[in-house]
Amino acid sequence: MMAARKKRDYIRICGGTFFLIVAVVSFLYANTGFFRPQSNAVTDHYFDFIDCGQGDSCLMVSEGSAALIDASTASESEQVIAWLKKRGVEKLDYLILTHPHEDHIGGAAAVLNEFEVDTVYMRQPTEGTEPTTSVYLNLLEELAAQSVDLEQAEAGDRFTCGAFYISILGPLKDYEDLNNQSLVLRVEHGENAFLFTGDQENAAEEDLVTAYGAELNSTLLKVGHHGSSSSSSLSFLEAVDLEYAVISCGADNPYGHPHRETLARLESLDISYYRTDLQGTVTVYSDGSKLYVQEEIA
Ligand SMILES: [Zn+2]
């Protein structure tokens, strides 16, 4: 009898300990994301909004395929290249350049020199607005010198990067302003969607809302034009119906980005936002149904 009781007690204690462990692990999993970065299902698919001063550059990786959206300024190209190397990137399947301003294409030639790039997506500027800047002309020379597949992207184009399904949604018109000519990308991964509008401003954003309506719905928005108040109108943000926003801008930049009006609009809609000027590189992991945000990785 004694032996049997002891055994039952032992089982009861073990059972209690087991349930305690399950409860602790479940809590950490559900509330802190502590265990998730070790899970391949999550770490296989991510976006790094790279801390690269007053410019834009986002690395997206899915199942070993990599794409870079914009390459920041020439002076920040070393930061971008260092980050890609830190991530173990050896080849870019795509380099997507949203529009030919220096804070988006300035580092592109250096990236092309450092990494093998399969395909570059750009857009032919609206007639009469083609830049004559040295950074743009040098980039065209670099592209011509390398055996890179250069694609002129247009709204309606679609392609995949690993498990990411990428649609080019815009620009929808031949705008005169180069910011509004920015390529608009929507990246789908299961139930998650990520919207990139480059430096598009209110007029071009409104054209997206008119054309796509609820199809713009996205889990995360890379906030247009570094958080300028001339982008991200309330009606646009409501149409996108986002949960998370990332703002790429330099600390103490001369433009005052992000503007407080933009932050107020994000806050009024209860959107969680992250800033590269304050939080460094922002990494967003996707498992196809949830997002896990991590500020700069040590
Ligand atoms: Zn910009």
8 Å CB contact between 58 and 152: no
**Ligand 1: distance of its center to the CA of 293 in Å?**
23
Same domain, 2 and 116: no
DSSP letter string over 188-250? EETTEEEEE-TT--HHHHHHHHHHHGGGG--SEEE-GGGG-TTS--HHHHHHHT-SEEEE---
Name the residues around ion ligand 1, CB cutoff 5 A: 103, 199
- Tokens representing 285? 């992991």
**Ligand 1: distance of its center to the CA of 97 in Å?**
11
Give, rounded to a whole angstrom, the gap between the first and last alpha carbons of the chain: 58
DSSP 126: P
Residue 279, judged by CB atoms within 10 A of its CB (0-12, 13-18, 19+), counts as middle
Query: What pLDDT is attached to residue 137?
Result: 97
Query: What pLDDT is attached to residue 37?
Result: 44
**Strand order through the sheet with 65-69:** 149-152, 116-122, 91-96, 65-69, 58-62, 45-49, 282-286, 291-294
User: How many C-beta neighbours within 10 Å does residue 165 have?
Assistant: 16
Task: Quote the CA–CA distance of 28 and 69 in Å, as a whole number.
Answer: 33
The per-residue pLDDT for range 102-157, each reduced to its tens digit, is: 999 999 999 999 999 999 999 999 999 999 999 999 999 999 998 899 999 999 99
What's the mean pLDDT when you consider all of the chain?
90
**Ligand 1: distance of its center to the CA of 110 in Å?**
18
Our measurement of the distance from residue 188's CA atom to the centroid of its chain's CA atoms, rounded to an integer in Å, reads: 12
Query: What pLDDT is attached to residue 210?
Result: 98
Same domain, 21 and 46: no
pTM: 0.86
Same domain, 55 and 120: yes
Same domain, 60 and 30: no
Query: What pLDDT is attached to residue 296?
Result: 80
**Ligand 1: distance of its center to the CA of 161 in Å?**
24
Pick the closest to residue 123 from 87, 153, 92 (CA basis). Answer: 153
Rg (CA), the chain: 22
**Enclosing domain of residue 165:** 39-294
**Ligand 1: distance of its center to the CA of 56 in Å?**
6
Task: Quote the CA–CA distance of 120 and 56 in Å, as a whole number.
Answer: 16
**Ligand 1: distance of its center to the CA of 225 in Å?**
5
Mean pLDDT of 254-269: 97
Same domain, 83 and 176: yes
**Ligand 1: distance of its center to the CA of 224 in Å?**
8
Query: What pLDDT is attached to residue 2?
Result: 45
Q: What total of structural domains would you count in the chain? A: 2
Alpha-carbon torsion, ordered 254, 95, 168, 269, to 10 deg: -40
**Ligand 1: distance of its center to the CA of 226 in Å?**
6
The per-residue pLDDT for range 242-256, each reduced to its tens digit, is: 999 999 999 999 999
Residue 270 belongs to domain with CATH number:
3.60.15.10
**Ligand 1: distance of its center to the CA of 199 in Å?**
5
**Ligand 1: distance of its center to the CA of 172 in Å?**
19
Query: What pLDDT is attached to residue 36?
Result: 45
Task: Quote the CA–CA distance of 148 and 131 in Å, as a whole number.
Answer: 21
Query: What pLDDT is attached to residue 41?
Result: 72
**Ligand 1: distance of its center to the CA of 175 in Å?**
16
Q: Which amino acid is at 119?
A: T
Pairing relationship of beta strands 164-170 and 158-161 according to DSSP bridges: antiparallel
Query: What pLDDT is attached to residue 149?
Result: 95
The per-residue pLDDT for range 22-50, each reduced to its tens digit, is: 455 455 555 544 444 444 577 899 999 99
The per-residue pLDDT for range 179-210, each reduced to its tens digit, is: 999 999 999 999 999 999 999 999 999 999 99
Query: What pLDDT is attached to residue 11?
Result: 45
Same domain, 26 and 147: no
Per the model's pLDDT, the better-predicted residue between 43 and 13 turns out to be 43
Same domain, 185 and 61: yes
Same domain, 27 and 47: no
Which element (helix H / strand E) includes 113?
Answer: helix 108-114
**Ligand 1: distance of its center to the CA of 35 in Å?**
36
Same domain, 21 and 53: no
**Ligand 1: distance of its center to the CA of 37 in Å?**
31
Mean pLDDT of 54-71: 97
Same domain, 277 and 223: yes
**Ligand 1: distance of its center to the CA of 30 in Å?**
36
Instruction: Choose the weakest-confidence range: 28-32, 150-154, 173-177, 268-272.
Output: 28-32
Q: What are the C-alpha distances in Å from 50 to residues 70, 174, 198, 221, 249? A: 10, 30, 15, 15, 10
Mean pLDDT of 229-252: 97
pLDDT > 70: what percent of the chain?
A: 86
**Ligand 1: distance of its center to the CA of 198 in Å?**
7
pLDDT(238) > 80: yes
Same domain, 89 and 236: yes
DSSP letter string over 44-60? TEEEEE---SSS--EEE
Same domain, 45 and 158: yes
Q: Which residues of 180-206 are buried (b: 16+ CB within 10 A; e: fewer)?
A: bbbbbbbbbbeebbbbbbbbbbbebbe
**Ligand 1: distance of its center to the CA of 40 in Å?**
33
Query: What pLDDT is attached to residue 42?
Result: 79
**Ligand 1: distance of its center to the CA of 282 in Å?**
18
pLDDT(240) > 70: yes
